[in-house]
């Protein structure tokens, strides 16, 4: 009968690059107790939370938290392997007794897990970390940085578990690997040292601005009010609330993009968000909020914001792929913060609590605060009217038009 739960090292794996591969297998020197699992599986070995695997050069992995005394990790036969050149021949994985949690609650995006089944990787040097995972059906695995901000994630289909190796190109630092609201199986991991720095792009992303002041056109309001599936509205207070159907997608009312939100994605997974017409965009809780879907290295994203509670340290969480170029992340007064992108991808902006956003800009100055889109008045015969592409249009044209240098909804 096989003994289970050990960590062994392989040697050179990648052509021309020194790598170390580690896999759970028999005769582990870290195991503390031999047990028989209640599900009738073969005898396994268990380990207390906080076990550190330090034999990988430039990487230390810790299983769970040493302060989580009630959580044990069982290693048993996973009935499969990940193939050559990934995590070689491993068929074992860790099955913790609890889901990952923070402060006694199921782990939320933007927070660091403290108990339950999670794995902490500390890299002393930049490189590629390959992990072999066993992720349950319909679950989402996340790799988060030291602040809890998402670096990468993998979502398993609702009807199929994910059992494969995943590569993460990372800078030196601390990272947390876990499954949202679920246990995550781990076969082993491989590390190849080498800079994760990407070359500077020749061009920044095209400039774009967003103003959340007086920018809801009459067409937008009509679409929102009519879309009970995705929005609730309180027109007496000019408040329009997006409900979870729009999580992590461009905000729409029906099939129509809301004009002031074009180019941005939003999520309601951790919180709803409200548009206060003529005032601000409001996020009422901690979690992932605003997503700029496409950015490249050296892009600059500037945001005017304020937090909603002076008694708490609320604001933005530093994104994994950006740094603060100017300003600060937490302010109860209206202020600005500018993020500089360090790695191309999407810029995922988390909040640490209630937050108001007034204006945003990508590689541009913040837009003017004044005037939004008004309802078009009577058109004089000699007033030329143009669409947003600069093409002259007839008096019967419907939509956003520009006349005498001002925008109107026709």
Q: Where is the domain boundary, 193, 221, 250? A: 193
Expressed as residue numbers, the domain containing 390 is 374-409
Q: Is residue 202 part of a domain?
A: no
Q: How many domains does the chain have?
A: 3
User: What per-residue string of b and e applies to 332-356 under the rule 16 or more CB within 10 Å gives b?
Assistant: eeeebbbbebbbbbebbbbbbbbbb
Q: Of 184, 180, 183, whose CA–CA distance to 106 is shortest?
A: 180
Q: Where is the domain boundary, 193, 217, 242? A: 193
Distance CA 320, CA 174 (A): 11
Q: Residue 246 belongs to a domain with what CATH number?
A: 2.60.120
Q: Is residue 322 part of a domain?
A: yes
φ, ψ dihedrals at 81, nearest 5°: -140, 175
Whether 21 contacts 10, CB under 8 Å: yes
Each of the 410 residues of the chain gets a pLDDT tens digit; together they read 222 223 323 332 333 346 777 777 655 555 566 666 555 555 566 777 888 887 788 999 998 888 887 788 877 665 555 655 555 545 567 777 888 988 778 877 678 898 889 999 999 999 999 898 888 888 889 999 988 888 888 888 888 888 888 889 898 999 999 998 889 988 888 898 887 667 788 889 999 998 887 778 888 888 998 998 889 888 888 889 888 777 778 888 888 888 888 889 887 554 578 888 778 888 877 777 898 989 999 999 999 999 887 666 788 888 888 999 999 998 888 999 999 998 888 898 988 888 899 999 999 999 887 544 434 444 444 567 777 666 677 777 777 777 765 666 66
233 and 305 both lie in a single domain: yes
219 and 256 both lie in a single domain: yes
26 and 55 both lie in a single domain: yes
Q: Where is the domain boundary, 163, 193, 223? A: 193
40 and 132 both lie in a single domain: yes
Q: Is residue 200 part of a domain?
A: no
186 and 212 both lie in a single domain: no
pTM of the model: 0.63
User: What per-residue string of b and e applies to 186-203 under the rule 16 or more CB within 10 Å gives b?
Assistant: bbbbbbbbeebeeeeeee
Tokens describing residue 374: 């008004």
42 and 181 both lie in a single domain: yes
Q: Is residue 252 part of a domain?
A: yes
387 and 357 both lie in a single domain: no
- Unique residue bearing structure tokens 């992340």: 329
Tokens describing residue 132: 């072999």
């Amino acid at each position: 009968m096989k003994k289970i739960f050990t960590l062994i090292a392989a040697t050179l794996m990648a052509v021309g690059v020194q790598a170390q591969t580690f896999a759970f297998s028999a005769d582990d020197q870290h195991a503390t107790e031999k047990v028989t699992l209640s599900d009738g599986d073969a005898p396994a070995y268990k380990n207390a939370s906080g076990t550190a695997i330090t034999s990988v050069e430039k990487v230390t992995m810790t299983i769970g938290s040493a302060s989580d005394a009630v959580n044990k990790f069982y290693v048993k036969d996973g009935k499969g392997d990940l193939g050559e050149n990934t995590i070689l021949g491993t068929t074992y994985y860790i099955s913790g007794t609890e889901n990952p949690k923070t402060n006694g609650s199921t782990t939320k995006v933007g927070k660091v897990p403290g108990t339950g089944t999670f794995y902490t990787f500390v890299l002393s040097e930049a490189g590629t970390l390959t992990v072999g995972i066993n992720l349950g059906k319909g679950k989402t695995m996340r790799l988060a940085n030291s602040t809890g901000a998402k670096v990468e994630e993998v979502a398993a289909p609702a009807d199929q578990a994910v059992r494969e190796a995943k590569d993460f190109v990372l800078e030196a630092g601390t990272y947390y690997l876990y499954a949202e609201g679920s246990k995550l199986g781990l076969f082993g991991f491989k590390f190849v040292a080498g800079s994760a720095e990407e070359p500077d792009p020749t061009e920044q992303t095209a400039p774009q601005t967003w103003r959340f002041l007086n920018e809801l056109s009459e067409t937008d309001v009509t679409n929102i009010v009519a879309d009970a599936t995705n929005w609730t509205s309180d027109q007496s207070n000019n408040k329009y609330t997006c409900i979870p159907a729009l999580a992590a997608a461009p905000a729409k009312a029906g099939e129509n993009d809301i004009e002031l939100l074009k180019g941005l994605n939003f999520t309601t997974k951790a919180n709803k968000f409200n548009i206060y017409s003529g005032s601000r965009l409001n996020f009422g809780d901690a979690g992932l909020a605003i997503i700029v879907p496409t950015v490249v290295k050296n892009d600059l994203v500037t945001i005017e914001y304020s937090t909603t509670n002076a008694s708490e340290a609320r604001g933005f969480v530093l994104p994994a792929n950006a740094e603060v170029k100017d300003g600060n992340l937490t302010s109860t007064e209206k202020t600005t913060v500018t993020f500089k992108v360090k790695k191309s991808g999407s810029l995922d902006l988390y909040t640490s609590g209630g937050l108001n956003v007034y204006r945003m800009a990508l590689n541009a100055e913040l837009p003017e605060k004044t005037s939004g889109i008004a309802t078009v008045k009577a058109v004089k015969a000699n007033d030329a009217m143009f669409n947003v592409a600069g093409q002259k249009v007839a008096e019967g044209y419907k939509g956003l038009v520009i006349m005498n240098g001002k925008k109107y909804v026709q």
